[in-house]
Amino acid sequence: MPDMTTPDTAGSPWALEAQGLGKKYRRGWALQDCSFRLPAGRICGLVGPNGAGKSTLLGIATRLVEGTTGELRMFGVPVDSPGVMPRYAFLGQEKALFKRFTVAETLRTGQELNPRWDQAAAERIVRAGDVPLHARIGTLSGGQRTRVAFALAFGKRPDLLLLDEPMADLDPLARDELSALLMAETAERGTSVLMSSHMLTEVEDMCDYLLVVSGGRIRMAGETDELMARHKLVTGAVGESGELPAGLALHTVVETRTTGRQFNALIRTEGPVHGDWRSMEPSLEEILLACLRSPEAPPLLTPTAQPDRRAERAA
Ligand SMILES: Nc1ncnc2c1ncn2[C@@H]1O[C@H](COP(=O)(O)OP(=O)(O)OP(=O)(O)O)[C@@H](O)[C@H]1O
């Protein structure tokens, strides 16, 4: 886990802050009215179904996509300010590497393009995977290529690493190895990470912060443990006419399923849970799936994730 006490050099405690962020394409809104905060030093999972708006959000952060409404700040500075570029590195599914370059030439390009370049770190990452420096990129395996892309990203010494499913095409062993590399490198430097992933187990293992997006809107945001602590799985008997117990209405019911005389509900607790039912701690996967299956449930943002309302009003 990263060192949470690492101070941010620019003085802003927020790696990312979105206020009313939206992107409209001709077909409609890809991202709408998104407001959230991601504190510096966190590893944040960006979760949502296909077409949810994850890549659009990462695209706005990296200036590949221009937002239609609102604002996105990185370490307190609007993402379209010139000073932002050296502060982040982006890694997507498509690795932007020249196939004819050798690994050494690729790292040299990184060195020439980035004033904060850390050659020792980049070489260490490449060597740890037994990737020969003289090998051409085109001759490397997918896992080796991803490792070189990670070396380029970390060599840049970014304060924020933005990852769009960078390990999606890797086998489980390579994924495991590169996840460990990611955790070790970010912990050493206190790097903030925002990574989109469809692998919920990976998110559960790696991420101490979550941003859940669906239909272009933020559904949940905040510290993983706080979000988990707000949910319970309850099981009990339905009433005579199949109705749910009245006590459940004291809480936010995210999802219910009834089988015969028994109900299962995933609830957001709004106080102590009392009732003639059994209550269990759901897994993160159960919470995420219920949240994504229930678009009518209200969004849940922990206090940390909620943007400063005063700033919003002043804007
Ligand atoms: N260049 C574009 N032109 C028009 N519509 C777009 C464009 N890019 C994305 N969209 C639409 O915006 C919505 C959000 O897409 P986005 O790629 O951000 O989703 P995603 O969450 O990254 O999905 P996935 O998990 O499949 O990668 C989708 O409906 C998509 O069709």
Report the pLDDT averaged over residues 24-46.
Answer: 96
Checking ipTM against 0.85, whether it exceeds it is yes
Taking the CA of residue 57 as reference, the ligand 1 atom at the shortest distance is: 18
pLDDT tens, position by position, 138-150: 999 888 898 899 8
Residue 6 in this model has a pLDDT that exceeds 50: no
In 3D, which of 245, 240, 261 has the Cα closest to residue 253? 245
Share of residues in the chain with pLDDT > 90 (%): 62
pLDDT of residue 4: 41
CA of 196 to the centre of ligand 1 (A): 13
What pLDDT score does 241 carry?
82
CB atoms within 10 A of CB 242: 10
- Is residue 110 assigned to a domain? no
Ligand 1-lining residues (CB < 6 angstroms): 25, 27, 30, 48, 50-56
Q: With 60 as the cut, is the pLDDT of residue 10 above it?
A: no
Residue 192 has a pLDDT of 95
233 located within any domain = yes
pTM exceeds 0.80: yes
- Give the Å distances, CA to CA, from 107 to 62, 88, 110, 166, 272: 21, 17, 5, 19, 56
Q: How many domains does the chain have?
A: 1
Q: What pLDDT does 311 receive?
A: 54
Atom nearest to 23 CA in ligand 1:
12
In a domain, 265, yes or no: yes
Give the Cα separation of 242 and 263 in Å (integer): 9
pLDDT number for residue 276: 80
Residue type at 113?
Answer: L
Q: Which domain holds residue 284?
A: 226-298
Ligand 1, atom 19, lies closest to the CA of: 51
pLDDT at 182: 87
DSSP string, 194-260: EEE-S-HHHHHHH-SEEEEEETTEEEEEEEHHHHHHTEEEEEEE--TTSPPPGGGGGSEEEEEEEET
- Using DSSP, state whether 297 is helix, strand or coil: coil
pLDDT, position 174: 80
> Is residue 154 in a domain?
no
For residue 7, the model assigns a pLDDT of 40
Which of 10-14, 30-34, 114-118, 193-197 shows the lowest per-residue confidence on average (mean pLDDT)?
A: 10-14
- How confident is the prediction for the chain on average, in pLDDT? 89
pLDDT single digits (tens) 65-103: 999 999 999 999 999 998 898 899 999 877 778 899 999
User: What's the gap in Å between 168 CA and the centre of ligand 1?
Assistant: 17
Residue 284, domain member (yes or no): yes
Query: How much is the average pLDDT of 301-306?
Result: 96
Q: Which of 8, 15, 2, 38 is nearest to 184 (CA)?
A: 2
pLDDT of residue 111: 92
What was the pLDDT predicted at 301? 96
pLDDT at 3 > cutoff 60: no
The minimum-distance atom of ligand 1 relative to the CA of 31 is 14
**Residue 138 domain-assigned?**
no
pLDDT band at 309 (very low <50, low <70, confident <90, very high): low
Condensed to tens digits (0 to 9), the pLDDT of residues 236-249 reads 988 888 888 888 88
Q: Is residue 198 part of a domain?
A: no
In a domain, 29, yes or no: no
> What SS3 class is residue 11?
coil
